[in-house]
Amino acid sequence: MFSSFARKALAACVCASLSCGVPLTAFSQSALGLQDAIIRSLQNNPDLKAFGYELEAQLGRVRQAGARPSPEVSLLVENALGTGARRGFDSAETTLSLGFLIEHGARQRRVDAALAGGQLLDVETTVRRLDVAAEAARRYLAILASQEELAEVNRSVQLAQETLSAVQVRVKAAKSPEAEEARAYAQIAKLRLEHEHVEHQLATAKRRLAALWGARQFEFGSVEGALLNLPRLEAYETFVERLERNPQFEMLLSERRLREAELRLAETTRRPPWQVTAGIRRFEDQSDHALVVGLTVPLPARAQTEGAIATARAQAARVDARQEALRVQLDAELFALYQELRHAHSETEVLRNDVLPRMETAVEQSRYAYERGRYGYIEWVAAQRELLEQRRALLEAAANVHRFRIEIERLTAAALSGRFQP
């Protein structure tokens, strides 16, 4: 049983196609999209499946809370096995009675508390699904970043091989020492070793994503997307307005309802249930029968209930305090994430538009100067190394943009499935 809030938040998380129930066999076996990864995770995440049993258990609690107290059957024998005229059972009085409890609304209070607990679990389900969707986006991003890093290493290997060819020309012409050729070979060997490391890193990232939907092996070859395709930087006020969508607020509201229901249930203990009994009494000495009716009214003991009521009231008040604390915490967290997002945006644009074009020009000029003997091998390789470092920095900055955006969208329960698309 999902609340309306749960349905809305879940729809925001994975978009309208989630309701189609896409089977696993419908997914591509080669390239995986972010939306597909999120849907797989939401449909098959082991933790979500395990939590589903908690929802079933809560349904059982609701049914149990609505159960009426069982009637009591009692048999009472009096004036038997005594002395004199009361010897044996000849003068015995036997009473068979049936008793019922009058709960004064306690059963409805139990049902209300159980239903409030179910609503809280509904919202917790939404929170868990949003967490799974956000984690799927994070792991998807890790794969995409590793793919881009692997492509960058390939370009580095190609550049190193071109460098080796240029060095060999000068060594063959006796214009450069053979030590430079050895250095160029060593650089290629180091880059190939790094290539192997990134491949392992990529395989691990794929395995971690597949584990999110319970798979022990990954069956996709790559993920789709363009890391350098940055989402538009929206105004901070836009995210602040969306912050109220955070399902933790709805969770606290549901918890408030639960605590209020528990308080009402605790207050009913001030009036203990009455017991009504009705039965038949048989008089053995005269073989007569008579109707017996009884009412048992427990005397209320205020000291026995005040502790439970005070506890329930304190827990309800604590929810209000937590709500205010949560709002302050989320405001601060959103502000910090937005500042990091702005910086990552700026860093990406500066690296892409200002730094890298100049570094590429510097590498070309260094090669031109090296081939004509104006620069040494060290100067040329230093320019190459700096270019490669800035390319890596660009990829990291772009990945940070997406990382911070994922965290902001998780914070505001926004859509996650449209990122990284080319």
The C-alpha atoms of residue 8 and residue 95 are separated, in whole angstroms, by 61
Domain 4-411 has CATH 2.40.30.10: no
Across the chain, mean pLDDT equals 80
Q: Side by side, which strands form the sheet with 72-78?
A: 72-78, 93-102, 274-283, 288-296
| Element (DSSP H or E) covering residue 93 | strand 93-102
Q: What's the pLDDT score for residue 86?
A: 65
Q: Does residue 289 carry a pLDDT above 70?
A: yes
Closest CA to 93 of 285, 376, 237, 238: 285
Are 327 and 240 in contact by the 8 Å Cβ rule? The answer is no
More confident call, 2 vs 64:
64
The C-alpha atoms of residue 331 and residue 334 are separated, in whole angstroms, by 5
Residue 57: both structure tokens together: 């258990």
Q: Which of 115-129, 210-224, 383-397 has the lowest mean pLDDT?
A: 115-129
Q: What's the pLDDT score for residue 281?
A: 78
Residues 19-43: tens digit of each pLDDT = 333 333 344 457 899 989 999 999 9
DSSP state of 18: G
| pLDDT band at residue 182 under the 50/70/90 scheme | very high
Mean pLDDT of 284-302: 73
| pLDDT band at residue 304 under the 50/70/90 scheme | low
Q: What's the pLDDT score for residue 245?
A: 79
- For strand 93-102 and strand 72-78, is the pairing parallel, antiparallel, or unpaired? antiparallel
Per-domain residue ranges of the chain: 4-411
Q: Which of 27-41, 176-190, 273-287 has the lowest mean pLDDT?
A: 273-287
Q: Does residue 358 carry a pLDDT above 60?
A: yes
Rounded to 5°, the CA angle 142-187-362 comes to 85
Residues 227-243: tens digit of each pLDDT = 999 988 999 999 888 88
